[in-house]
Structure 1
Amino acid sequence: MEIINNETNLQFEYREGGEIARLEYRFYKKDIALMHTVVPDSMMGKGVASALAEQAFAFAKAKNKKVMVYCPFVAKYVQKHPELKNQIDRDYHPNL
């Protein structure tokens, strides 16, 4: 699955059949904030949202940035992948 980082629109994207799944992000202070995930119905159940989250965390790690989580899906993703918890900015998410 090819995920691209659309740096112009600040979102990770996956395209399929003319539709786009995306995970929107913003840079805030010293962090990257993962804002919102949108997956079209036609892509549901294929692991697209997880692939977007995985790419976002890899990007944050490569940029040496902590992650702020605002997206409910990403919060659940972190719970399922405890190895990512060390990337979370504890000043904003002490319980994640």
Structure 2
Amino acid sequence: MEEVIHLPEEGRFEIRIGEHVAELLYYVKEGNIVFTHTGVPRPLEGQGIGSRLVRAGLEYARQEGYRVVPLCSFVDAYIRRHPEYQDLRHTP
């Protein structure tokens, strides 16, 4: 299984499979990590790759003490389906 690579200088997590790259994009602002986009190339869809990226991003947020702002609808839905990450959600 391909590993999730964290590229903090680019604000992204990625998984590379062959010529395809799946990504989770983010930026950090005022103690929050803002997840803006999850992208999985069509040939990789339905394999749980987006979920692996989001899980890695949320674990990073927990480790660093960030509150999560899920602008990306996929990240928002993931948090709603996984109660173990509800405590990370930023509440204004």
Q: TM-score range by the shorter chain?
A: over 0.9
Q: TM-score, normalised by structure 2?
A: 0.95
Inter-partner Cα distance in structure 2 for 1:79 and 1:65:
18
Percent of pairs with identical residues: 30
Where structure 2 has 5 or more consecutive residues not aligned to the other structure, the ranges are none
Amino acid at match of 1:46: Q
Hey, what does 2:78 align to over in structure 1? 77
Q: Within 5 A, what are the aligned runs for 1:53-64?
A: 53-64=54-65
Deviations 1:19-72 (A, max 9, x none): 100000001111110110000011100000000000000000110111111000
The runs of at least 4 consecutive aligned structure 1 residues that moved more than 3 Å come to: none
Where structure 1 has 5 or more consecutive residues not aligned to the other structure, the ranges are 92-96
The structural deviation recorded for 1:8 is 2.2
Inter-partner Cα distance in structure 2 for 1:71 and 1:83:
19
Inter-partner Cα distance in structure 2 for 1:43 and 1:4:
17
- The answer to whether the aligner puts 1:9 opposite 2:10 as a matched pair is yes
Amino acid at match of 2:10: N
Hey, what does 1:23 align to over in structure 2? 24
Q: CA RMSD in A?
A: 0.8
The structural deviation recorded for 1:80 is 0.8
